[in-house]
């Protein structure tokens, strides 16, 4: 692995550590050649732990003698013996470019490099205890494929140019893990803390549709850690073909300050299936009270406008007062059969058409006078002065008054305005 280790460690750091590992996952790293060196065996709690683990992995060098896979698996089993019954999913990822070439001092030594009985008996106990075994062969002349068959583990190999990108592509079928495609968006967070986390999942090496259960979502906003954003586990199906859109309802505590801030979301899984990365950076926008209540506020404004219009209409009606009832008689003959009921703001025009008198709501060339209401009085407005030859001063209230009216034919007539108010 001397000339290949750089690409492998870069891939482990960028994919395994950065994308797959989530807080509280337990990570064990064993470097093996003629012996097994335990490099890491700890719970990964936060980014600081990830950074420390990546620094250790980056220091690996492929310059040891022999390839004792059995000894390496023994070291893994010894470290994780107390993890056998904790109920968590367990994975073993083996990366190697060599055949099984244990040194003579190893109990797994064989002259021809085959897997001896003791090797197979010991290593198979890993799978018997529920471990998922994944083997990535670096090159085509390795024993990795045979080992995967013996352990009934998933297998992939890389025979072309080795880069972190090529390893990621090949390992996709090994892990069969959907990955987030594009940004993860968090809808504006209301004052009650409600929001929606949305993203697309792209399948990678899936044999069929899979069901993923997100058991929980937590957030890191500044120095504040916010657990339990989902009230209950959420399960959805990822199709083996095409992109799957996922939307998860979440509930933030209603104590976040309004405005925009950067944060990190971490997904926890309640099933063997998961997606990557399990930890993503997001932008959070917390709405203020006004933004959160824009719809009810808009409805309230509309209601207030309606009420204001109604009040204005009522005031207008009230200021116009009640209608006044009166009649106009010319030579003791009513101008119209019905009693006139006129309200403030309205006008009636007295017309003379060939000595036939009538009322109209609009002024015409035949209009002699107009009647209107103001301050509970009937006002007479003279439009043609010559048609009222004896009128010098117009009375403040025309009711009960008699006027001399000259007809179109030149005849003087008597015009009386009589009050027709109902008796109380």
376 Rama sector, left if φ>0, alpha if ψ -120 to 50, beta otherwise: left
Specify the pLDDT at position 172: 65
What value does the mean pLDDT take over residues 143-159?
A: 75
Q: What is the pLDDT of residues 107-136, one digit of tens each?
A: 888 887 777 777 777 777 776 676 778 888
Specify the pLDDT at position 335: 92
367-374 and 356-360: which strand pairing? unpaired
Name the percent of the chain lying above pLDDT 70: 89
Residue the block writes with tokens 């399990």: 278
Is 69 in contact with 94 (CB distance < 8 Å)?
yes
More confident residue, 111 or 229: 229
More confident residue, 318 or 355: 355
Q: Could you give the C-alpha distances from 302 to 62, 294, 315, in angstroms and in order?
A: 74, 12, 20
Peptide linkage before 285 cis (omega within 30 of 0): no
What value does the mean pLDDT take over residues 146-166?
A: 76
Specify the pLDDT at position 90: 79
User: Quick one: DSSP state of residue 143?
Assistant: S
Residue 237 in tokens: 């199906």
CATH architecture type of domain 324-419 = Sandwich (2.60)
Q: Is 324-419 the same fold as 179-289? A: no
Residue 259's CB: how many other CB atoms inside 10 A? 10
Specify the pLDDT at position 306: 85
User: Which residue, 218, 261, 222, is CA-closest to 23?
Assistant: 218
Residues contacting 36, CB < 8 A, separation 6+ = 30, 68, 71, 72, 74, 75
Q: Does domain 5-175 have CATH number 3.90.1300.10?
A: no
Q: What is the pLDDT of residues 51-66, one digit of tens each?
A: 999 999 999 988 888 8
User: Which residue, 370, 397, 394, 374, is CA-closest to 383?
Assistant: 370
Residue the block writes with tokens 């002065």: 385
Query: Whole-structure pTM over 0.85, yes or no?
Result: no
Domain spans, the chain: 5-175, 179-289, 293-318, 324-419
Is 258 in contact with 287 (CB distance < 8 Å)?
yes
Q: Which CATH entry fits the domain spanning 179-289: 3.40.50.720, 2.60.40.10, 1.20.140.10, 1.10.1270.20?
A: 2.60.40.10
């Amino acid at each position: 692995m001397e000339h290949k280790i750089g690409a492998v460690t870069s891939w482990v750091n960028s994919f395994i550590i950065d994308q797959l590992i989530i807080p509280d996952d337990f990570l064990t790293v064993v470097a093996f050649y003629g012996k097994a060196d335990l490099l890491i065996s700890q719970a990964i709690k936060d980014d600081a732990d990830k950074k420390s683990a990546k620094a250790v992995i980056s220091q690996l060098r492929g310059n040891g003698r022999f390839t004792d896979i059995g000894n390496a698996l023994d070291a893994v089993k010894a470290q994780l013996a107390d993890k056998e019954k904790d109920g968590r999913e367990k994975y073993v990822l083996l990366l190697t470019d060599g055949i099984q070439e244990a040194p003579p001092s190893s109990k797994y030594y064989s002259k021809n490099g085959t897997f001896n009985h003791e090797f197979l008996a010991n290593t198979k106990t890993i799978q018997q205890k529920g471990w998922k075994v994944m083997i990535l062969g670096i090159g085509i002349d390795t024993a990795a494929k045979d080992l995967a068959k013996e352990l009934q583990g998933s297998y992939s190999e890389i025979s072309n140019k080795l880069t972190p990108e090529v390893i990621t592509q090949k390992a996709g079928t090994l892990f069969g893990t959907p990955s987030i495609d594009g940004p993860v968006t968090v809808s504006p967070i209301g004052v009650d803390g409600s929001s929606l986390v949305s993203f697309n999942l792209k399948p990678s090496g899936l044999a069929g549709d899979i069901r993923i259960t997100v058991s929980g979502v937590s957030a890191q906003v500044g120095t504040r850690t916010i657990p339990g954003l989902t009230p209950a586990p959420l399960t959805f199906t990822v199709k083996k073909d095409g992109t799957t859109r996922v939307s998860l309802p979440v509930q933030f505590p209603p104590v976040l300050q309004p405005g925009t801030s950067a944060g990190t979301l971490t997904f926890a899984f309640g099933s063997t299936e998961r997606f990557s990365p399990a930890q993503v950076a997001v932008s959070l926008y917390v709405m203020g009270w006004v933004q959160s209540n824009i719809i009810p506020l808009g409805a309230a404004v509309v209601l207030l406008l309606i009420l204001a219009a109604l009040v204005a209409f009522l005031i207008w009606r009230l200021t116009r007062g009640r209608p006044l009832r009166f009649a106009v008689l010319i030579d003791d003959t009513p101008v119209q059969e019905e009693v006139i009921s006129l309200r403030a703001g309205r006008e009636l025009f007295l017309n003379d058409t060939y000595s036939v008198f009538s009322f109209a709501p609009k002024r015409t060339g035949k209009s002699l006078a107009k009647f209107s209401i103001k301050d509970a009085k009937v006002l007479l407005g003279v439009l043609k002065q010559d048609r009222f030859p004896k009128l010098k001063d117009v009375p403040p209230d025309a009711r009960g008054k008699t006027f001399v009216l000259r007809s179109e034919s030149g005849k003087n007539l008597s015009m009386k305005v009589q009050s027709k108010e109902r008796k109380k």
